[in-house]
A and B are shown apart, each in its own frame.
Chain A
Amino acid sequence: MVRTVVACKNILSYLEQVDTSVSLTIGLILGQTCNGKDYVVHLAKTSIPPPLKLRNISEINDLWVADHAKQATKMLTGGMHVIGVFLVSDKDLLGSSFPLEFKSVISQLNKALSAEYLYGNSECNEKLIMAYCSKTRSVKCKTLDGITSSIKPAEIKFCEDNMKWIKLECKYQLDETYFLEEKSEDMDLREQMNMILKDVNNNLKSSVILYDGELKDEDETLDSIGKKQKNLRSGKIAHTDIERDSKPLTATILQSCNEKFTDICVKNTHLQIKIVGQIMCTIWLNPMISFKMASISIIHDIMRSLSTRLEMHWDSLIEEEHKQDSNSIHEPPRRVMIAIPYSKVTVSDYLFPGEGYEEAKNSVEEILGIKLDGLNNVIQEVEGSVDINAFGTNISQMIEGKIQEDKEHSHTLFIIGSVFALIVLILSIVVHFLIKHL
């Protein structure tokens, strides 16, 4: 079966506008794979470090593309992937033979995207190669299997209408405390963060996800929800997209409570990490996607977002802070959502405390090549930030045990005080008697 690629007309006009006079252009295809079809959402040009100019595909550095793909994936919501690479040149690159250079580009790309908890590679191993020839004004597509290296033809269709996407939302709440036993090996902050990621990932994988409060059949597709409801209420299947627009599908994630502890135990711990806060998860899915895939996409979104921000936080610390020996509060960057101008789909970026929208605008432009007109209406702040100073008293309460200690301390002081008073009293009585009898 020939693989089908679906893209909007504006993708084609983007390709048409690329200047091929001095160099060829390489970039990433961002989109979603659903039931064997690839849906293109956006093309992001890979920037070439100046003053280099690509005249030939043999000059492409695999690592530029791979690194760009990793950067871009971090900004994509769950379910969206780098589904391939595109090239624009004045030659017909996919004309007669398949250039071998593409194999190493895709192989590096797959490798970069397989980073743990990034979930950069979609379920299917095939990546798309799309080549536009400015001379013939034609687009050709092939797929390359990352594992078997087999090349297959693909067919691209440009559609007039905007693509339909179903918006799915949930607010994932983290509130976990981890303890490290004294005998366990010393971990640096990165290892501690990995421990958290591993635990959250395991929890999510064993969880139950409900959609608008209902447990759905895994194989059912997302669009069935709206249809059914319509059917029941008004007796006819009408356009439900409008309704969906205003009211996204809500996911509820449930965790079963089957802790394995059977008895009370005491452990000697030396470190306690509490992670608390909310990850806002908004993803966009093709209406034909199954609920099984939807659940996977939600989990990927949460994990991708959490691992990205923890990594960014780690990277922002200086080396001494990696192995800190005192109590500390870490505030990883928070998520903001940015709407792609010609689509409903949003991408995300992360802002450190104190950073403004301008930073998000810059990275969207730099990594995804999206020009944003304004700031306030396209960048959406979905997560709040903590004012650690204002939070001060609460956090010291969170650092459990501290309040306890103080109480005990004052208790001891009270006893010492009383004993001292008693001694003074006895002494004065003795002295009183002594003086009297002398």
Chain B
Amino acid sequence: MIPLLKISKSLVNKLSRIKEPVFAKLYGVFLETATILLSVQVESKTDNELEFTLPTEVDLYGLLSIDNKEFNASEVKEKLQEQVDVTDNPIFLFCCLGKTEEITAYVLVNDQLQSRPFVIISEQEIYDELVHVRLRGNFFISSNIEKSSYEGAVLDFRNSVTTGKLAFNFSKTPIYLLGTECEIGGNLSETSGEPIVGDIYEHSSEKKKKVDSSLYPLRILDVVIFRKLTQDTTSSSDKEHAPICIVTKKLKDTLFIPVKIDVLSLISKQTNLCRLYDILVESVIRNLKAFQLTLTRHSNHDDVPILPEVHHFFPDDCGHFLSIWIPKNINQKTYESSRAALHEQFLLPKNKPLFRKGNEYVFKASIPGGAPLINPHETLKNTNNEGKIALVKGRYSYYHYNQSRMNDSGWGCAYRSLQTLASWFKWQGYTDKEVPTFDEIQKCLVDIGDKPSSFIGSRQWIGSMEVHFVLNTLLGVTCRIINVSNGAEMMYQGPELLRHFEDYGSPVMIGGGNLAHTIIGVDYNETTGNIKFLILDPHYTGSEDLQVIVSKGWCSWKGIEFWNKTSYYNMCLPLVPLGI
């Protein structure tokens, strides 16, 4: 039986960006009852090596053709047979240029293209059935300094992985996978039949709070790698030799290379745990192949190689993860053409960065405790203003009083607002620079001559202009300053703010009446003229407790009465450059 065909909605949406006839590759996952197509990839002028970009188990299942004439069936068949090897029944999608919403689907059966019904499903529906597994572990290998030597060492290490020396543990559970023979530790035995991944997921995740799931919508199972120090007693009857020591005396340069495994797999919740062992081993091998490729490609003979690093991205509207390997500390500029190619290959808009370091997917597990919260407003409900809403785009960190063991209560609010703005530029990948500290902010203002040197270490306030100076000097960001003569006038700022959030989407700092705030959204009703502001208040002095912050109004929608009628206000609206 040929399984059902499901196509991701974001895949279909992306097709509208295709402007000329093209053949593209379709990647997806195979479930017991259906094939889900998740990703589309076109050729690009500067091609990246994309072998290990998609999660393990996301494979090439078919091809897509967009053309202004009918397709040539024999050409299609030939291409399918040549390129798709995970299935005997590859999928072929066709649509006319400019009418990408009208897709026809075919499946190759017995050398014939048979038309197939299909359904388009949303991201949420897809990730209800699937689970991402993130496998991590740190190893190191040693070798001589020559290129051939360390290449050999990586290869040897890769080969050792396949000999059953690895074990996997589901983080925070007593469940260990030791091999394919399904000796599963822990107390899953109560469940009838063979244990599946879905059971573990229920087992490991505590009852999720609602607030959590909106910030981290993806299911990610953390798995850590262990090395088996013992041999399975049953596996071989041959006695291995007792320990011997081989001592080699030779003065030489020895290279130590840390090998970090950090790899994603995308699997069905119904996956049997015995099969999962093989999938995880396969993912380690893919990780090592990508590591080796990156290591080799960016190293000159006999030079100390540069450590490859992986970055996981889940761009908005892309619908799936992309894991990109690049050498450590590489200059973003050098890598621009490769990034551009990624945008092209995966049909992503080129108006903003998606593959810079700051754009990395934030895994819940990798956020240190006590770090500023990310996007606390995402748990809020909309107002009943019934206006047009525009919000901050992307991620920011919520900076407020008394963070990083510093008592700035009463004078640091504008600094904190500035930090929130700077964090937004970092998160969107526009800068690699860390969010500036108070010292750095003060030093910057002294350096540009705005303040006397006594300003450093003082508790003096700063205003909107200073925020602009610092953003401009440290991050190269230009801001627009809008003066508002009094708080009541804020009601006329609706159109301006709407345009800002729609066009740029950066958070806005506002200062006036001795107070500074951050505006991160606006709800403007053109007919009634009513306006609501989404305010992130830097005057909060408590700990990073989302519940308190949201329920006590430290991040909430405010009406016009929020502003002081007698104060003069300055808004600092950071402009955002176009490009990747």
Contact = CB atoms under 8 A, between A and B. Distances in A.
B362 interface: no
Interface residues of B, number: 60
Contacts of B239: 278, 280, 381-384
A335 B232 CA distance: 19
A400 interface: yes
Given A264-B305, A270-B249, A386 B258 contact: no
Contacts of B185: 210, 213-215
Interface string A164-201: 00000111111001010010000001001100100000
Contacts, number: 229
A271 B248 contact: yes
Contacts of B254: 179, 266-269, 272
Interface string B133-147: 000011110111110
A257 B227 contact: yes
Interface in B234-285: 234, 238-258, 261
B378 to A, nearest CB: 33
A277 B242 CA distance: 5
B241 A278 contact: yes
Contact of B244 (A177, A253, A257, A386): A386
Contacts of A333: 242
A35 interface: no
A214 B178 CA distance: 10
B225 interface: yes
Nearest to A330: B245
B251 A264 contact: no
A334 B360 CA distance: 52
B247 A272 contact: yes
A276 B246 contact: yes
Contacts of A212: 183
Contacts of B140: 259, 261
A258 B148 contact: no
Given A271-B249, A273-B246, A325-B249, A259 B174 contact: no
B241 A172 contact: no
A6 B226 CA distance: 41
Contacts of A172: 229-230
Interface string B329-372: 00000000000000000000000000000000000000000000
B186 interface: yes
A169 B233 contact: yes
A397 to B, nearest CB: 11
B280 to A, nearest CB: 13
Interface in A323-345: 324-335
A173 B226 CA distance: 14
Given A253-B228, A253-B229, A272-B247, A215 B307 contact: no
Contacts of B242: 277-279, 309, 331-335, 383-386
B307 A252 contact: no
Contacts of B145: 266
A404 B255 CA distance: 15
Contacts of B184: 213
A315 to B, nearest CB: 15
Contacts of B250: 270-272, 327, 401
B68 interface: no
Contacts of A266: 145, 253-256, 304
B381 interface: no
A326 B249 contact: yes
B218 interface: no
A268 B233 contact: no
A150 to B, nearest CB: 41
A274 B229 contact: no
Contacts of B189: 232
B252 A256 contact: no
Nearest to B185: A214
Nearest to B168: A254
A175 B106 CA distance: 53
Given A271-B247, A275-B244, A330-B244, A252 B178 contact: yes
Contact of A276 (B146, B149, B244): B244
A324 B240 contact: no
B245 A259 contact: no
A243 interface: no
B229 A254 contact: yes
Interface string B178-215: 10000111100100000000000000000000000000
Contact of A177 (B142, B144, B305): B142
A353 to B, nearest CB: 10
B247 A327 contact: yes
B547 interface: no
B176 interface: yes
A406 B251 CA distance: 17
Contacts of B174: 214-215
B224 A259 contact: no
Contacts of A276: 243-244, 246
Contacts of A192: 247
B458 interface: no
B231 A264 contact: no
B328 interface: yes
A85 interface: no
A240 interface: no
Interface in B52-109: none
A260 B140 CA distance: 9
Nearest to B190: A232
B167 interface: yes
A400 B169 CA distance: 33
A172 B105 CA distance: 55
Given A257-B261, A384-B239, A399-B246, 6 more contacts: A252-B167, A253-B230, A257-B226, A267-B256, A279-B242, A386-B241
Interface of A: 169-174, 177, 179, 182, 189, 192-193, 196, 203-204, 207-208, 210, 212-215, 232, 250-280, 306, 309, 324-335, 381-386, 388, 395, 398-401, 404
Cβ-closest 6 pairs across A and B: A277-B243, A213-B183, A334-B242, A257-B137, A261-B258, A384-B239
28 contacts: A172-B229, A208-B176, A213-B183, A250-B232, A252-B178, A253-B229, A254-B169, A254-B226, A255-B227, A255-B228, A257-B137, A261-B258, A266-B253, A266-B254, A268-B252, A271-B249, A274-B245, A275-B245, A277-B244, A279-B242, A325-B249, A327-B248, A328-B247, A329-B247, A330-B244, A334-B242, A384-B241, A386-B242
